[in-house]
Structure formats: C-alpha cells, structure tokens
Amino acid sequence: MMHSSSINTRLWLTYTMIIFLVLTFASAGIIFAFQRSPLLYRQIFLRMDLVSNLLTDRLSFVINADWDPTIQLFFKEAELLDVQVAILDSSGTLLFHTMDYSVDQIPQINDPFTTAERSADRALVFNDAEKEDWFYQISQINDAYYLLVAARRPDVAIQSLFQDELVKPLLRTGLFALIGAFVLSWLMAEWITRPLRKISESAKNIAVGKYEKVPIEGPMEVQQLALAMNDMSQKVEKSLQSQRDFVANVSHEFKTPLTSIQGFSQAIYDGTVHNKKDIQHASDVILNETNRLNVLVNDLLTLAKLDAGTMSMTKESVELNRLMQSSIERFYYELEKADIKINPVFSDEIYLYADAVRLGQVFSNLIDNAIKYSIPGSEIQVTISRQGRQAMVTVSDTGPGISEEECARIFERFYQVDKSRQGGTGRGVGLGLAISKQDVEAHGGEISVSSKVGEGSTFMVKLPIEDATNK
C-alpha cells in the first residue's frame, strides 16, 4: 500500500504550525514592545515631570535670596517622590544636589536644551560610576540656573519578565489552540474525506459492475469530483451496455447466414439434395448468404476503423453535385427494376474537402434505403443547396416514414425499425446509417432525419464547404 499521510494528519500539522508561528510572532512582538515601550517607566517619568515642574516654578521665586534652607526643604520633598535633584549653573557646575555620584558623568549637562528631545517614548539616560542607568531631564529655572531631575531606571530583565508574565499564558493559549486545532482538523477532515470515501467506494463498485450515483456533497472541488464520477460511471455503464448489445447483435447477424450455409452444404455433402435443380438452389443460398456475411464483415471492419480513427481518408477537393450524380448512376438498374425515378435538384458547383469514396458511400446508402422503402412508380427527391458556409444534401422518399422515437434511434448500430420489413435476404443489418453518421462526422458534418409516418422520410446531410481553413 502507498504510504501517505491522511488529510486529518496534514490539517493537524498545518494548524499546529500556524499556532506555533502565531504564538512565536506574538511573543516576539510583545517582547519588542516591552523593550521599547515606556509602559514600565511611565510612572517614573510622571514623578520626574511632577518634581521638575513643581521645583522649576518654586525655585524661580527663591533664587538669589537666602535659598539654601528653602532648597533643602524642596529637595526633601523631591526625595519623598524617590527622585534625585540637582541645581546647576549655566556652565554645568553643580551647586546643590541630592545625588551620591559624580555629576561629571552626566552627559549633555552643558547643553540643557537637549531636554527637549525627551518624548513620551524615550528618556535621556546616563550611567553613573556604578554602571547604573539613570533617567534624567534638565529644565531651566532662569538665565543662570538649571534644574536636573533624575531617577534610577528600574532593572527589568526582559528574560524574567518573559518568564514571569508571558510563558504561562502563552503555554496555556497554545495548549487550548492545539486542542482546538485538533478538533477543528478532525471536523474539517471529516467534511472533506467523508464524501471522498463515498466516491472511492463508488469507484470500487464500478470496477465490479455496480453503477450507483455518488451523493453531491462536501467542498466544491469534491462535489465536482462526485459530478464527474457520476457522469463517468453513467458513460461507462452505457458504453458497456452498448458493447454487450453490439456483440449480441453481431453474433445474431452471423448466426442466421451461417446456419443456412451449414445446412445447405451439409445437405449437398450428405447427398440429400441430388438433382441439379436442388443443388442449384442450395448453391444459390450458400452464395447469397456468403455475400451477406462478406458485406457484414466489411461493414464491421469499416465501423471498427472509424471508431479507432484508423480509417484512411484521402481527402481532396470534391465537387458535390458530380459526386451525387455518380452515386445516383450506380443505382440505374435498381431504379429501372423498381420503376422508381430520381429527381435531382442540384445547385451551382460546391467544392468540399472530402474523401470521395466515403462520402459517395454515404449518398449511396441514403439512396439505397430510399429505393428500398419506396413503392414502384414513386419518385425520390435529391437536392443540393448552399447554406452559408455549409452544403445541404437531402434525400427524400415517399415511403412508409419513420416514427419520432425511431428517428432518434435509426443511427444506432444494428437498429432496424422493422426487421421483417426487408425479408431475410435483404442486404441491411442496420449498420448502414451508423456508418454514414460516422463518415459524415469524420468530415465535420451532421446527418439527421425528418419523417412523417405514412408520408415519407427526408435524410439531411450538412457538410462544411471547402475553404482554406478546413483543409
């Protein structure tokens, strides 16, 4: 058995991969956001802003007076908010401060206006002597003094944050998503595979000759498959049936002449028929039946070749009126004998790109049938006309006509309206029109019949007129 994974497994794997990807991207996004976002720092910034605003205003009032005690007081307040402060003069010299590190290391201290750079997202940062990070901002008190506010940046290791806050919810979500994916993939797989299983079941049934319709359900593609399957099984059934019918018909058609041939030759061999007249009769029957078999075998061979597309056609430019004229002339003696006239109404010259022998055979077959089914003294109409890019040939008789249901079937192999009609020795076995249809179609044409019971039949052949394109 072929080794391959089921749709269920594939879906399950796909979903799992999607979940994994989504979770990975989500985690990466969250980590990135945490790293960039001032979310954790916002409170610190708020405190720094508060102290900075409060002190800048108040200091501008007390400056230059005896400000030492007042400043100490202010600084105490600032310390309550866990913020360090310092006052610098415009050259960056530290005048007062609450800090316990070297202020020299504060960068950009001589350029207080870099404070403007701090946005909500980004803080100015410097390292102190102990390599600790500080947020700071500088604001101007007046022309001579600047206020520096700083706060220690809390040490949030992204790794621990990830472990403490993210791993658990991510794992939980992942687990739920996996269970969800499992159920979903099972449902999806069922939805797709159930109708598929029915189709494969029905394919197996066709193999053992059981033709049943597959229900049209499931996703669109599966429905299309089911439709195609039903169509195919119907065609297979029909074609098998027609093959069986064909074999039955062929055997039947062979049986009757073979039985007569066997009977009469046996009689001659046994000496049961001995006078000259009887022997003459027996040989006559044997000869006729042999001819009949010969015609039948030739017809079957022609059909087989047309079916297989191996019929060698020598197509060339053929003038339709002349071809019909010579087909009619072949029936000179039959027409005389049956006292039937043919009245051809031809058109101007029409050229077809055709195999003259095959097409002549089609016309002969139609004329032959018309003669066979016409009563003595009647007339057969043959017309040729031009209909746009098509040539139209009609052969009409005033014979018994064909009923509507039979009209639909007379082009089938071995179909004969009334087998008793032409007697046992007539040429026909019901293959003539089937062969004609194949021949006409091989020329890109169409053959049809219109008939009224009791009034006669008209056979119509439409053929494409020769032009540069259908060569």
Q: Which of 412, 416, 418, 455 is nearest to 437 (CA)?
A: 412
Looking at the Cβ atoms of 233 and 457, the one nearer to ligand ADP is 457
CB of residue 249 to ligand ADP, shortest distance in Å: 12
Kindly give the residue spans of alpha helices, DSSP state H, lying in 130-219: 158-161, 167-207
CB of residue 288 to ligand ADP, shortest distance in Å: 16
CB of residue 254 to ligand ADP, shortest distance in Å: 15
Report the site for ligand ADP in 334-393 (rule: CB under 6 A): 365, 369-370, 373
Cβ atoms 445, 463 nearer than 8 A = yes
Looking at the Cβ atoms of 400 and 445, the one nearer to ligand ADP is 400
E strands of 289-421, at which residues? 316-319, 341-345, 351-354, 379-387, 390-397
Pick the piece of the chain touching ligand ADP (CB under 6 A) from 127-135, 143-151, 159-167, 410-418.
Answer: 410-418
CB of residue 253 to ligand ADP, shortest distance in Å: 10
What number of chain residues touch ligand ADP (CB under 6 A)? 21
Cβ atoms 115, 138 nearer than 8 A = yes
CB of residue 458 to ligand ADP, shortest distance in Å: 9
Looking at the Cβ atoms of 112 and 432, the one nearer to ligand ADP is 432
Q: Which of 11, 138, 382, 410 binds ligand ADP (CB under 6 A)?
A: 410
Report the site for ligand ADP in 411-450 (rule: CB under 6 A): 415-418, 428-434
C-alpha 124/C-alpha 143 separation (Å) is 22
Looking at the Cβ atoms of 52 and 416, the one nearer to ligand ADP is 416
C-alpha 210/C-alpha 202 separation (Å) is 8
Residue nearest to ligand ADP (CB): 428
402 binds ligand ADP (CB under 6 A): yes
Q: Which of 87, 89, 55 is nearest to 74 (CA)?
A: 55
Report the site for ligand ADP in 53-92 (rule: CB under 6 A): none
CB of residue 463 to ligand ADP, shortest distance in Å: 19
CB of residue 385 to ligand ADP, shortest distance in Å: 20
Q: How many CB atoms lie within 10 A of CB 161?
A: 15
CB of residue 9 to ligand ADP, shortest distance in Å: 58
**Longest alpha-carbon distance in the chain:** 168
C-alpha 217/C-alpha 199 separation (Å) is 10
Kindly give the residue spans of alpha helices, DSSP state H, lying in 63-166: 68-80, 158-161
Q: What length is written for the chain? A: 471
Structure tokens at 465: 């007129």
Report the site for ligand ADP in 120-159 (rule: CB under 6 A): none
Q: Which of 397, 440, 443, 445 binds ligand ADP (CB under 6 A)?
A: 397
* DSSP secondary structure of 386-428: EETTEEEEEEEE-SS---HHHHTTTTSTT--S-TTTTTTTSS-
Q: What is the binding site for ligand ADP (CB under 6 A)?
A: 365, 369-370, 373, 397, 399-400, 402, 410, 415-418, 428-434, 457
